Chain A
Amino acid sequence: AQSVTQPDIHITVSEGASLELRCNYSYGATPYLFWYVQSPGQGLQLLLKYFSGDTLVQGIKGFEAEFKRSQSSFNLRKPSVHWSDAAEYFCAYTGTASKLTFGTGTRLQVTL
């Protein structure tokens, strides 16, 4: 079955430390991949997306993600985390259908 897996439910990092959030997908062809961020009580904001081309994608707020076909992964990274990055992060994909399929999310906590 097609799916998205985010293996880490919670991650805690210190402010200024680097961050990597993992995302693995299961899909027959190359999907369209997205990372969204959700602050408490808010809707989702798109951080970045991958459709084709360069496998390293730059997004907003200093985030980047790398698509690795061989590993079926699309991990999100940030070199230096800020306290305001504390939120829930969702990886998602679409295939031939238009609907987004989301992972279960990773909750990021930032310690000062």
Chain B
Amino acid sequence: NAGVMQNPRHLVRRRGQEARLRCSPMKGHSHVYWYRQLPEEGLKFMVYLQKENIIDESGMPKERFSAEFPKEGPSILRIQQVVRGDSAAYFCASSPSGQASYNEQFFGPGTRLTVL
């Protein structure tokens, strides 16, 4: 059973470009979470999605950031018009159906975004 997959593992963008980060949850998992880890800091929650629904986006910056988890395909975290402050590691996690707060979240290896 493959784990949580994220791609690309490393992404370099110039200021003003768009960044698209992909996350494929573990098989059978329908809950996806995105977290951001800034240098020398812990992980901060960004958004929680289920298939075709955003459940909690309280950690998402108000502008330039969006996330989706379509019925088919991976979850996408999209950052428009990137700035240097967006440079960070972005982690995706998934958990199985049910009462999500009881469930372990399984983390992917992360995408390290560098904005030049």
Contacts and interface: CB of A to CB of B under 8 A. Distances in A.
A100 B34 CA distance: 10
Interface in B96-116: 100-102, 104-110
A104 B41 contact: yes
A90 B33 contact: no
Interface of B: 4, 31, 33, 35, 41-45, 48, 55-56, 58-59, 91, 93, 95, 100-102, 104-110
Contacts of A36: 107
Contacts of B55: 98
6 contacts: A32-B101, A51-B102, A98-B56, A98-B100, A99-B58, A100-B33
A45 B91 CA distance: 12
Contacts of B33: 98-100
B30 to A, nearest CB: 12
A99 B48 contact: yes
Interface of A: 32, 34, 36, 42-46, 49, 51, 90, 92, 94-105
B42 A97 contact: no
A22 B106 CA distance: 23
A99 B35 CA distance: 9
A96 B101 contact: yes
Nearest to B105: A100
Contacts of B101: 32, 94-98
B43 A102 contact: yes
- In the complex, which of the residues A34, A97, A98 has the most CB atoms of chain B within 10 Å of its own CB atom? A98
